[in-house]
């Protein structure tokens, strides 16, 4: 059985699904009235790290600051600094 990571995204969970679905199995999951983004990890030993880097970049681009996620029965917070854009 594959491991699953669930992300608790308060603003735009469907956008995170779109970002991740190109090369992963991703779905929305309603738990207690909260929409979670669930991601099945593939067999690559680097899959988890790659997923977290992708989500971190997405959080930074959207200026969300952080997103909570559950993995292996534990809850974590992934923090990301907002992306700064330079004015021309």
Would you place residue 86 in the very low, low, confident or very high pLDDT band (cuts 50, 70, 90)?
low
Burial grade of 47 (CB within 10 A; 0-12, 13-18, 19 or more): middle
Q: Across the chain, what does the average pLDDT equal?
A: 90
Question: Whose CA is closest to 64, among 51, 73, 77?
Answer: 77
- Is-contact 65 80, C-beta < 8 A? yes
Average pLDDT over residues 36-42: 95
Does residue 44 contact residue 67 with C-beta atoms inside 8 Å?
no
SS3 26: strand
Q: Is pLDDT above 70 for 26?
A: yes
Question: pLDDT band at 1, cuts 50/70/90?
Answer: very low
pLDDT, position 23:
85
């Amino acid at each position: 059985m594959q491991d699953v990571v669930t992300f608790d995204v308060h603003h735009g969970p469907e956008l995170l699904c779109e970002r991740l679905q190109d090369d992963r199995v991703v779905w929305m999951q309603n738990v207690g009235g909260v929409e979670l983004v669930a991601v099945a990890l593939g067999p690559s030993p680097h899959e988890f790290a790659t997923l977290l880097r992708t989500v971190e970049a997405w959080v930074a681009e959207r200026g969300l600051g952080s997103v909570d996620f559950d993995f292996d029965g534990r809850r974590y917070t992934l923090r990301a600094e907002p992306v700064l854009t330079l004015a021309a």
